[in-house]
Amino acid sequence: MISIIGYGNLSKSLITGLRNGNYSGDITVYDPYVTKKLHKKITLKRKLDDDILKCKLIFLGVKPNKFKDIAKSLQNITKNTILVSLMAGISIKKLRELTHISRIARVMTNINCAHGKAQSFVFFNSNCEPKDKKQLIKIFDDVGKTYIVSSERKIDIVTGLTGSGPAYVLYILEIICSIFEKQGFNKKMSRDLSIELFDGTINTCKNDERSLEVIKKSIVSKKGTTESALRSMKKDGLQKILNKAVSSAIKKASKIGS
Ligand SMILES: NC(=O)c1ccc[n+]([C@@H]2O[C@H](COP(=O)([O-])OP(=O)(O)OC[C@H]3O[C@@H](n4cnc5c(N)ncnc54)[C@H](OP(=O)(O)O)[C@@H]3O)[C@@H](O)[C@H]2O)c1
């Protein structure tokens, strides 16, 4: 049995993933603002009552700037509760200071949890017991791959890489899609073709152990079309643009809670 505070984009993806996977326990969700329940097998609460607060695992899925609003309500929960923060940027120190909860885990997952393909990074504070850890890891194993990190700083790093990552991939996908459209393909076909292009390429990489660079080189022939496009991207500084963008996300992640 778990409870989740905040029924937003990430919580919904996580619940979808858990329900599509092996998790059959009760899920109770608290969100005072929500108007529509999307999942059948959950209990949705508009009050932060004991059904939420007595759960062993309480997930926090609100935006970081809303955390203070609910922190006080969490101050009297039982000693062996584990607070699982899904939020970007709020440190364990801050979480403890404002909730007085001693067992805390920070998890950075992503929306790919909805269909079993999340990358979830978990940092446990020193008060978490081995059996707590096992229980939480199992939940995230149900929605993708789980990686335990031994430093909290790593959570900020993956926030900017894999937490936000699906948005970067989607942005590039959107650009490719718009190029198909500009070249005369209709909207639906452009969407399908772009997704197939990514999906096919990922599939190639999954089935080919060579480095990404070597696989890429296998497409390039001297003075050919691919070489011309890649040279243009390099000249316009695509790598620099992406490096700068991701670094700014990582920097932001480490600053949110301070
Ligand atoms: N979205 C992602 O892909 C992603 C990835 C990694 C990490 N995260 C982290 O996950 C957290 C949630 O992100 P999100 O994108 O799911 O945000 P979101 O869609 O805004 O969801 C947050 C939900 O919590 C509700 N809420 C606001 N104040 C509340 C309160 N006091 N008590 C209970 N519920 C409250 C919000 O209602 P209103 O909309 O009415 O305010 C909203 O339904 C963030 O901290 C973010 O850093 C998100």
- State the Rg of the chain over Cα: 21
Q: Say if ligand 1 is within 6 A of residue 257 CB.
A: no
Domain count, the chain: 2
Q: Which of 129, 151, 173 is the last residue of a domain?
A: 151
Model pLDDT, residue 178: 98
How many angstroms separate the CA atoms of 249 and 255, rounded? 10
Model pLDDT, residue 258: 64
- Flag whether 118 is in a domain: yes
- Flag whether 159 is in a domain: no
The CA–CA distances, whole Å, from 229 to 41, 46, 234 equal 49, 53, 9
Q: Say if ligand 1 is within 6 A of residue 240 CB.
A: no
CA of 206 to the centre of ligand 1 (A): 33
Q: Mean pLDDT for each consecutive 10-residue tract of the chain (258 residues)?
A: 96 97 94 91 93 96 95 91 97 96 97 98 97 96 97 96 98 98 98 98 98 98 96 98 97 84
Substitution site in 3, 4, 10, 65 for ligand 1 pocket (most atoms within 8 Å of beta carbon): 10
Contact (CB, 8 A) for 2 and 139 = yes
| Nearest alpha carbon, ligand 1 atom 25 | 6
Question: What tokens does 202 get?
Answer: 């990922």
- Residue 234's domain is classified under what CATH number? 1.10.3730.10
Q: Which of 125, 151, 177 is the last residue of a domain?
A: 151
Q: Say if ligand 1 is within 6 A of residue 165 CB.
A: no
In terms of Cα–Cα distance, which of 165, 176, 171 is closest to 229?
Answer: 176
- Flag whether 157 is in a domain: no
- Flag whether 156 is in a domain: no
Q: Say if ligand 1 is within 6 A of residue 7 CB.
A: yes
Q: Which of 151, 174, 201 is the last residue of a domain?
A: 151
Single-letter amino acid, residue 250: I
Sequence-ordered list of residues with C-beta below 8 angstroms from that of 198, at least 6 positions apart, any chain: 169, 173, 176
Model pLDDT, residue 35: 85
Q: Say if ligand 1 is within 6 A of residue 140 CB.
A: no
Q: Count each helix (H run) and each strand (E run) in the chain, helices first.
A: 11, 8
Domain limits at 108?
2-151
| Nearest alpha carbon, ligand 1 atom 1 | 10
Statement to judge: residues 233 and 119 lie in one domain: no
Q: Say if ligand 1 is within 6 A of residue 125 CB.
A: no
How many angstroms separate the CA atoms of 106 and 185, rounded? 44
- Flag whether 158 is in a domain: no
- Flag whether 47 is in a domain: yes
Q: Which residues pair with 44 in a beta bridge?
A: 29
